[in-house]
Amino acid sequence: MDVVRRLKEAGFTALWAGGCVRDHLLGKTPKDYDVATDATPKQVKKAFAKRKTVDVGASFGVIMVVGPRGAGEVEVATFRCDGSYSDGRHPDSVTFSSPEEDAQRRDFTINGMFFDPLEHKVLDFVGGARDLSQGYVRAIGDPHARMTEDKLRMLRAVRFTASLEFGLARATKAAVTEMASQIHVVSAERIAAELRRMLTDQHRHIAVALADEVGLLREILPEVVMPGSGEAPEENDGRKPQVVLATSENLSPQLSALRLLQQPSFELAFAMLLRGVSNIEAICRRLKLSNDELEKTAWLVRQQDALREPDKLTLAQLKRLLAHPFRDDLLSLMRATLLAEHADPHPVLFCEQFLEATPPKVLNPPPLVTGNDLIALGLKPGPRFKQLLDEVRDAQLNGELADRSAALEWVRARLDVKS
C-alpha cells in the first residue's frame, strides 16, 4: 500500500500486479506483492530515495524496494513489452509500455490482472476475472506463443491448475501437450523448483496426474512414466470445471498415497512419487537437487518397505531405523502407503508404541566401542574394521552387551577367531 501511495504521490501510475492480485481476489493472503508502474527504474529509485532499493533487474525495469524492519520487500517493475525469447526462457530485450501492453506479455489470464489498492479497483485487460470466477487456467492470447516464450510456463500451467483446483483451458492444454518435449530448454534447477512447489502443495496428486496426462511427467521423470487417461473438461458458462484425474491403473496407488501425505517435506513427497524406482541418486543429480535432498530422498526410497513387518525385525534393526533422523518421514510414508492400499495400519502403530515405550538412551545409546578402540587393538581401518563396528553395535542394540568392558572382550574374541 505504501509503495503504491508513494509512487502515486510522485505523479506515477502504480498498481498491484500478477499473482498477488489473483490471490487477493480469491480471498487468500498473497505470499508477496509485486507493483507495476509507469515510472522508470531511475524514477522509482528517486521516489524511494530515503528507502533502500536494490537493482534486481534494472535492464528489465525491476527495482526491489526494501521495507522497514519486519515489513519485507516489494518488487517494483515498469510496465513493459518483451522482445523475442531466443533462449525459450528470457526476453532478449524490453521496451517500457502501458498497463494494457504489459498485461499481454504475462503468462495466464488469472495472473494478468492489476489492482489499485487505494481505489479498490481491478484493471483487467485479458479476461482474468472471468477465468478466475469460472475456474480456468488459460494462456493470454496464443497459448503456443506464450509457451514458446518461456517453456517453464508449461509446468506452471500444471501447478496453477492443480493448486487452485481449476481446469486447464482446452487450447492451453493442447499447446502444453504438443510442446511437452521442449521442456528440456529449461534448466534443471528451475524444473526442480516447480517440482518442489507442486509436491509440497496439498493438491500434489492432481499436479502429478495432470503432468502425466499432458506428457510432461515422461519428459522430466521418465523413470515413473505412467500413461494418463483423462479428457480435458468441457469449458462452460460459469460452472466450475470438474477436476479429472488420470486413472491409469499403475498411477492410482501413487496418487492416493501422495494425496494422503500430511504437509510433507519435498523429499518425502518425491520419495513417494519414486516408489519402486532404483536409480534415485541419478535422478536427483539430473535435477541438480542439493546433497541433503538427495540423501534424504534416496534413504526414504531404499527403506520404503523396511517397516512392513516391524515385529519380525531384530531389536537392532528396529532401533537403527527408528533412531534415524529421517524416521518421522519414513513413518509418514508408510502410513500413507498402507492407507492407500487399504491395508492394516498395524506396522505404523507398532512402531509408534515402541517409540513411546522406549527411552531415547535405550533407543540410541552411545556406542560402547569406537573406531579408536579398534585401532588401539591393532586393527587397521578397512572393510573388516567397519564390519566389526556394525556387529558390536548390533550386539549392543540387541541387549547382548551391557557395558564397555564386555563389548571390548566381545571384540577381542572376534579378532582371535578371525585371526
pLDDT digit string (tens) for the chain, length 419 residues: 999 999 999 999 999 999 999 999 999 999 999 999 999 999 999 999 888 899 887 677 899 999 888 788 999 999 988 656 665 556 565 677 799 999 999 999 999 999 999 999 999 999 999 999 999 999 999 999 999 999 999 999 999 999 999 999 999 999 999 999 999 999 999 999 999 999 999 999 999 999 999 999 999 999 987 443 334 444 554 555 554 444 445 667 889 999 999 999 999 999 999 998 999 999 999 999 999 999 999 999 999 999 999 999 999 999 999 999 999 999 999 999 999 999 999 999 999 999 999 999 999 999 999 999 999 988 888 888 999 999 999 999 999 999 999 999 999 998 875 54
Q: Residue 211: which H helix or E strand, with range?
A: helix 204-213
Q: How do 80-82 and 53-57 pair as beta strands?
A: unpaired
Q: How far apart are CA 276 and CA 134, in angstroms?
A: 39
Inter-residue contact 274 to 297 (CB < 8 Å): yes
Instruction: Please say whether the dihedral angle defined by the alpha carbons of residues 254, 255, 260 and 263, taken in this order, is positive or negative.
Output: positive
Q: How far apart are CA 343 and CA 345, in angstroms?
A: 6
Inter-residue contact 325 to 261 (CB < 8 Å): no
Q: How far apart are CA 343 and CA 305, in angstroms?
A: 13
Inter-residue contact 80 to 111 (CB < 8 Å): no
Instruction: Please say whether the dihedral angle defined by the alpha carbons of residues 60, 61, 67 and 72, taken in this order, is positive or negative.
Output: negative
Instruction: Please say whether the dihedral angle defined by the alpha carbons of residues 330, 335, 339 and 341, taken in this order, is positive or negative.
Output: positive
Strand partners for 78: 37
Q: Give the chain's domains with CATH numbers.
A: 1-127 (3.30.460.10), 135-302 (1.10.3090.10), 304-359 (no CATH), 371-418 (no CATH)
Q: What is the pTM of this model?
A: 0.88
* DSSP helix/strand/coil, 416: helix
Q: How far apart are CA 252 and CA 247, in angstroms?
A: 6
Residues 6+ apart with CB under 8 A from 191: 152, 155, 183, 220, 287
